[in-house]
């Protein structure tokens, strides 16, 4: 109670204004009904700029901010998560050779027309999200004020488009315009090169400039690395899939299998525990990840290399209730196949961006893991897939037609950012979500590449860059 009293928008605002030390900031913050015009010129900041091809494409440079206009929000970065999907973009490493290899499309850009601009020719701040403090807002911004601590979400939530209004704000239409041609320059390098941000978001810099649709106010005094973890795209996806109910609601006492225990999977394990699942089976080839899974809520941990072709049957056997007798509450589906299958399966394996320096899984494309995830789902169960894979999925046709498996896909596990991210922060506040066990490589801005290498080679669970 006393904590609530001290943690107010006003107190956060005062702290930030004092840090910024500007009368203009205070004056702007006092505008209750409309935001004053914000023009922040010539602010210099450090940013990791990615450009060109191959290793060495990302370098730390100084850039000069352009004026903040319209619905733009300037956020001083406190922390940002090092998402595995950006390993190729940041480190310039090539994916291991695989059959039918395809470049993974950017989230939300699946049906985008060809771009006139080539992303590798542009100077781009990578990252897609982070947490920080609002330093300035454009004149049209209504959602946040200067001084607010915010999450810059990996996915937008406008609240007004058709998809938002029908309950699928994870697929908000603002996602449709994040290709190379859609990006707007937010800064310039010393030689005049315009600087852009991945998906209008960025994160691997001292500041982020985002449109307000991506910005979610949060109220917490937890350390930046932990808030950055729970608000990062991976934890948001894992908690979204299991606790947001945007796709499906996990029921108490149900069985949940989580295929892949990186930061998404380990967040899903925790979400399943929070949702009240009684059997939580974590599957990952890396022993250290299986151990963390057991520490944060899994009841079983399986190694797909050790289980081999028997993995699916093993999950079915672990999810069968004490009797398979008909009329007695048995869960075995009448002898059609052994065991029951998990009521809910969260797939979070994905393809290898580079060959891991930890234990490798059975298939670097992620296709096999996704097929297994479908087959270990109970008849009548639900499958949520989140991994970026290389290749196409082949499924048993009749199981696909008559198996009763409901497949859910979406952005960020179906998370609705404005509704769900503050709830995820509350899980952190009340110690229901363990961020520290996931953020095992916390590096300052200057050591970003070191942290990203650990993420790339899977020698850590995941990484967080802190910048303030």
Pick from 63, 158, 258, 418 the residue near Zn ion by CB under 5 A.
158
Answer for the pair 136, 28: CB distance below 8 angstroms, yes or no.
yes
Pick from 25, 90, 164, 183 the residue near Zn ion by CB under 5 A.
164
Residue 467 near Zn ion by CB under 5 A: no
Contact letters (x/-) for Zn ion, 43-82, by CB under 5 A? Answer: ----------------------------------------
Binding window for Zn ion (CB under 5 A); candidates: 22-30, 139-147, 162-170, 279-287 = 162-170
Residue 83 near Zn ion by CB under 5 A: yes
Residue 161 near Zn ion by CB under 5 A: yes
Binding window for Zn ion (CB under 5 A); candidates: 163-171, 187-195, 258-266, 387-395 = 163-171
Binding window for Zn ion (CB under 5 A); candidates: 164-172, 305-313, 446-454, 455-463 = 164-172
CB of 115 to Zn ion, least distance (A): 21
Binding window for Zn ion (CB under 5 A); candidates: 63-71, 168-176, 338-346, 413-421 = 168-176
Answer for the pair 220, 428: CB distance below 8 angstroms, yes or no.
yes
Give whichever of 403 and 414 is closer to Zn ion, judged by the CB atom: 414
Give whichever of 294 and 388 is closer to Zn ion, judged by the CB atom: 388
Give whichever of 12 and 83 is closer to Zn ion, judged by the CB atom: 83
Which residues lie below 8 Å from residue 361, measured CB to CB, with a gap of 6+? 284, 285, 304, 305, 349, 352, 369
Give whichever of 136 and 172 is closer to Zn ion, judged by the CB atom: 172
Give whichever of 207 and 231 is closer to Zn ion, judged by the CB atom: 231
Residue 17 near Zn ion by CB under 5 A: no
* Number of residues this chain uses to bind Zn ion (CB under 5 A): 7
Pick from 25, 49, 63, 172 the residue near Zn ion by CB under 5 A.
172
Three-state SS annotation for the chain: CHHHHHCCHHHHHHHHHHHHCCHHHHHHHCCCCCCCCCCCCCCEEEEEEECCCCCCCEEEEEEEECCCCCCEEEEEEEEEEECHHHHHHHHCCCCCCCCCCCCCCCCCCCCCCCCCCCHHHCEEECCECEEEEEEEECCCCCCCCCCCEEEECCCCCCCCCHHHHCCCHHHCHHHHCCCCCCCCCCEEECCCCEEEEHHHCECCECEEEEEHHHEEECCCCCCHHHHHHHCCHHHHHHHHHHHHCCCCCCCCCCEEEEECCCHHHHHHHHHHHHHCCCEEEEECCCHHHHHHHHHHCCCEEECHHHHHHHHHHHHHHHCCCCCCCCCCCCCCCCCCCCCCCEEEEEECCCCCCCCCCCCCCCCCCCHHHHHHHHHCEEEEEEEEECCCCCCCCCCCHHHHHHCCCEEEECCHHHCCHHHHHHHHHHHHHCCCCCCCCCEEEEEEHHHHHHHHHHHHCCCCCEEEEECC
Residues in 98-137 at the binding interface with Zn ion, rule: CB under 5 A: none
Give whichever of 233 and 376 is closer to Zn ion, judged by the CB atom: 233
Give whichever of 106 and 277 is closer to Zn ion, judged by the CB atom: 106
Residues in 179-238 at the binding interface with Zn ion, rule: CB under 5 A: 233
Binding window for Zn ion (CB under 5 A); candidates: 170-178, 269-277, 295-303, 327-335 = 170-178
Give whichever of 149 and 157 is closer to Zn ion, judged by the CB atom: 157
Give whichever of 161 and 286 is closer to Zn ion, judged by the CB atom: 161
CB of 199 to Zn ion, least distance (A): 9
CB of 341 to Zn ion, least distance (A): 29
Phi, psi of 138 (to 5 degrees): -70, 165
Give whichever of 201 and 281 is closer to Zn ion, judged by the CB atom: 201
Residue 464 near Zn ion by CB under 5 A: no
CB of 139 to Zn ion, least distance (A): 22
- Where on the chain is the footprint of Zn ion (CB under 5 A)? 83, 85, 158, 161, 164, 172, 233
């Amino acid at each position: 109670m006393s904590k609530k009293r001290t943690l107010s928008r006003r107190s956060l605002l005062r702290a930030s204004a004092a840090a910024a030390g500007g009368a203009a900031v205070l004056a702007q913050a006092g505008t209750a009904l409309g935001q004053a015009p914000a023009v922040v010129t010539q602010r210099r900041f450090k940013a990791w700029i990615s450009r060109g091809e191959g290793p060495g494409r990302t370098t730390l440079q100084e850039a000069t901010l352009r004026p903040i206009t319209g619905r733009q929000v300037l956020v001083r970065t406190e922390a940002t998560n090092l998402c595995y999907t950006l390993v190729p973009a940041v480190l310039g490493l090539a994916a291991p050779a695989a059959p039918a290899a395809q470049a993974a499309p950017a989230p939300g850009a699946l049906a985008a027309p060809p771009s006139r601009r080539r992303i590798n020719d542009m100077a781009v701040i990578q990252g897609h999200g982070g947490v920080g403090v609002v330093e300035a807002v454009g004149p049209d911004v209504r959602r946040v004020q200067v001084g607010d601590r915010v999450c810059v979400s990996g996915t937008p939530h406008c609240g007004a488009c058709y998809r938002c209004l029908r309950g699928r704000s994870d697929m908000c239409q603002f996602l449709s315009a994040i290709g190379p041609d859609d990006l707007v320059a937010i800064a310039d390098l010393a030689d005049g090169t315009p600087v852009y941000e991945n998906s209008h978001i960025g994160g691997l810099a001292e500041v982020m400039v985002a449109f307000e649709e991506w910005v979610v106010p949060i109220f917490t005094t937890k350390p930046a690395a932990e808030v950055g973890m729970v608000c990062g795209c991976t934890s948001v996806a894992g908690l979204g899939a299991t606790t947001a109910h945007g796709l499906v609601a996990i029921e108490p006492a149900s069985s949940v299998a989580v295929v892949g225990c990186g930061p998404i999977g380990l967040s899903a394990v925790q979400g399943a525990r929070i949702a009240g699942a009684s059997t939580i089976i974590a599957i990952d080839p890396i022993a250290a990840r299986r151990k963390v899974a057991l520490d944060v809520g899994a009841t079983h941990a399986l190694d797909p290399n050790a289980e081999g072709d028997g993995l699916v049957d093993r999950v079915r056997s672990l999810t069968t209730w004490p009797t398979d007798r008909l009329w007695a509450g048995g869960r075995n589906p009448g002898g059609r196949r052994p065991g029951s299958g998990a009521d809910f399966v969260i797939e979070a394996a994905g393809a290898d961006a580079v060959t891991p320096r930890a234990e490798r899984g059975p298939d670097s494309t992620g296709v096999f893991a996704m097929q297994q995830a479908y087959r270990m789902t109970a008849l009548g169960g639900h499958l949520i897939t989140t991994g970026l894979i290389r290749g196409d999925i082949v499924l048993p046709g009749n199981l696909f037609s008559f198996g009763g498996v409901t497949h859910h896909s979406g952005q960020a596990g179906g998370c609705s950012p404005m509704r769900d991210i503050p709830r995820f922060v509350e899980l952190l506040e009340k110690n229901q979500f363990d961020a520290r066990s996931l953020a095992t490589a916390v590096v300052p801005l200057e050591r970003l590449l070191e942290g990203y290498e650990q993420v790339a080679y899977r020698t850590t669970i995941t990484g967080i860059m802190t910048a303030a």
